[in-house]
Structure 1
Amino acid sequence: MTDELSTAERLLPGLDRQLRETGTAELESATSPGLRIFRQAGGPGLVVPGELGGLGASLVDALHIQRVLGARSPSLAVAVNMHVCTVLAMPPCAATEDLLRAVAGDHLYIASGFGEGRPGASVLAPTMRAERLEKGWRLNGAKKPCSLSESMDFLTASVALSSADTDGSEMALAIIPADAEGVSVRPFRSSPVLVGSETHEVVLTDVDVPDECMSLLGDPQSLNAALSTAFHTFELLVTASYVGAASGLVETVLERRRGTAAERVELVGELETVMASLEAVARACELGQDDPAGVARALYVRYSAQRTIERVAALATELLGGTPYMVSGVSATLFSAVRALAFHPPSRSAMADALDRFVLGEPLIIP
């Protein structure tokens, strides 16, 4: 991870050292200080444009940071990933520029609420409704799983618009202060995996949102510029996060000289190949454009990476041995975490038919 560590030190100096000193076990706990450390390092402004007071990091830079975070704490990488993707992909509205200035200047976190905990349901078919008011919208519903739910300063939530002008098929993204009246957080998870990501259920009860804090996403059946950017950035960055988790295991294998030279080189080569593919897709994409081919490439790389990092994590954990697995728990934590990439939307099985039709020339539709 030489390039990735150099990027981290250039943009967020001292962050990796502090995360290493804290240790993966503490960073993966329910009381993890990871998000506090990242905030203090100036991380929330990472991809905010320089003219708005941010660090102006590129998409490739963001990939590097996510890999480093994943190697130190998969929970931290997953939580930060949602913030970074939201900042990169947020469709413009009247409040966007002021919000991004505040994110960079005050180190604020933005949580992303798209999932609603309905197995097999599309993230592009929200049940959270927005009812038209005279000068805004009233929101009701729940988002789960929602990372960053305890540390968020703002929540962005996908909603279906209900008004005389729509039939409920139009989507929008609402920007909501975390301390707004009607916003509450409820425990959602009991699994110990990724517990440091603050993934819970966020409930909205009669939450009023002004027009200037609503960004229109259009018809979810059309992979327009806003949705293309959202899927493009998410698939690349979330994959880099789990490449990082596998990298944490491989780093330990290298430090302890476990296995043979051939096995160690194989592990490194597998992960570097995945990372090179992610970087290539990132460099080719133009955010803010209608780019279904780019989204498809990001999905191809992500699905291929899933199997690669599972294979790498399994071999690395085996080479580290049973005692570290049972005693320290760190290798068990990282080994369990990498499997979670398969659970992020859209799943490989859900996209199979859509991608099969796309390669034959049909429009790409995210089911």
Structure 2
Amino acid sequence: MNYLRQEQAVLEKYLPNFIEKIDSLSLLEMEGTASPVIKLFKENHGPKLVIPKQYGGHGATAVELVRFQRMIGSISPSLAIASNMHHFSVATLVEMAKNVNGMEWMILEAIAKENLLVASAFAEGRAGSNILEPFLELTPSENGGYYVSGSKKPCSLSHSMDLLTFSAILPDANNEKKIGVVLVASDVDGIKRKEFWGSDLFKASESEEIILDKVHIHEQLVSYAGNLGELDDVQTRGFIWFELLLCASYVGILSGLVKRVLLLDHYQDEDVAEVLYETETATSALEGLAVAIENQEKNESLLSRSLHIRYAIQRATERASARAVELLGGMQYIQNPEISYLYSAVRALAFHPPSRYRMTKNLVNYMKGQPLIIS
């Protein structure tokens, strides 16, 4: 089968034993709480995928990452969601290493050498809130560094993470609120996990609540300070990476449905082609965005482009998944829980911030010449 051939080649290049090790597992076994997929991802050195070779990583290209996430999504939606958050966090560290004179390069080397998983506690989908406004705030410690208390829910990789990264409001000498990026080991005093995820979807992504109870943060693990509510170049690049890899993951989940359609022999070619048009166009758009990232195109226009692609893919996956399930038939939907699982999982793209409804006016205004506002 030619479908997903390029994507499978990338997966086998970077995780050569992964497919062999999960071959005996059903989709629902891979998606349950006892799933081994995150462990296998780590054992096969998946955490170093995004890290440049100069820091000891695999140095995968942005196009390869799109293909990798699409393939993972077609196999295990939970792993796609979890690995997406790791890759996004590491890609942001890579951007910081390019732009900030700090310890980021040392952290990247440590992640690659020690094969560490990084969880992300950045944006949280709180109704009516601005996703750029941190929900955590650092307070100075009498012994140097800072303390932080609060929680993040949900947070993927909550149990398997080695490091946790998050944005926080920094104390400033001029009483001006700044935003910083914080990195902390997952086993320090004060970090707790609490059950949060109530859905049957994405159980294996370990998306639970992380509680920070007066966790001490060394001042060297607080990276650059930016202005609250404003996207600088580093944050913008991180945002673009997030949208790229998130969309690739969900196109992958859709691809898992489409692959099942291609295995049927009773459909009309024009029916399945209708679904393929949606998935392959979405993939082409993401690969084009990946090339633009590699070419270091202007950040604000690239962010606008990434959001337009994200919302277009959001609608395309809705249409294509509905058509794919229709082609698979009612009996498959009723008797094969994998079909209904994938169908429900695809729709979750709409729940990741920033929502299409909050961004519609902002994107239209940007095209009219106003600054791009993320809300």
**TM-score for the superposition, normalised by structure 1:** 0.95
Q: Does 1:284 align with 2:292?
A: yes
* CA distance in 2: counterparts of 1:262 and 1:111, whole angstroms: 43
% same residue: 37
Match of 1:210 in 2: 218
1:290–1:270 Cα change, 3 Å: closer
Match of 1:260 in 2: 268
Match of 2:154 in 1: 145
- Matched residue SS, 2:278: helix
* CA distance in 2: counterparts of 1:199 and 1:297, whole angstroms: 29
Q: Does 1:359 align with 2:362?
A: no
Amino acid in the other structure paired with 2:344? S
* CA distance in 1: counterparts of 2:174 and 2:113, whole angstroms: 38
Further displaced range: 327-336 or 281-290: 281-290
Deviation at 1:47, TM superposition (A): 0.8
- Matched residue SS, 2:199: coil
Q: Does the CA-based 8 Å contact 1:224-1:290 persist in structure 2?
A: no
* CA distance in 1: counterparts of 2:296 and 2:111, whole angstroms: 20
Residues 1-367 of structure 1: pairs in structure 2 closer than 5 A: 1-90=4-93, 91-92=96-97, 94-133=102-141, 135-168=144-177, 170-286=178-294, 291-367=299-375
1:257–1:102 Cα change, 3 Å: farther
Deviation at 1:117, TM superposition (A): 4.9
1:220–1:66 Cα change, 3 Å: farther
Q: Does the CA-based 8 Å contact 2:50-2:58 persist in structure 1?
A: yes
Give the paired residue count: 366
* CA distance in 2: counterparts of 1:242 and 1:20, whole angstroms: 21
Q: Which runs of 5+ in 1 are unaligned?
A: none
For residues 20-42 of structure 1, give each alpha carbon's deviation from its aligned partner in whole angstroms, at most 9, with x where no partner exists. Answer: 43231111112111101111111
* CA distance in 1: counterparts of 2:23 and 2:167, whole angstroms: 36
Deviation at 1:286, TM superposition (A): 4.8
Q: Which runs of 5+ in 2 are unaligned?
A: none
Q: Does the CA-based 8 Å contact 2:62-2:293 persist in structure 1?
A: no
For residues 113-162 of structure 1, give each alpha carbon's deviation from its aligned partner in whole angstroms, at most 9, with x where no partner exists. Answer: 01345223122112211012363121111111111101100000111113
* CA distance in 2: counterparts of 1:340 and 1:217, whole angstroms: 32
1:353–1:80 Cα change, 3 Å: same
**TM-score for the superposition, normalised by structure 2:** 0.93
* CA distance in 2: counterparts of 1:219 and 1:338, whole angstroms: 35
Deviation at 1:8, TM superposition (A): 1.3
* CA distance in 2: counterparts of 1:191 and 1:130, whole angstroms: 32
Q: Does the CA-based 8 Å contact 1:147-1:200 persist in structure 2?
A: yes
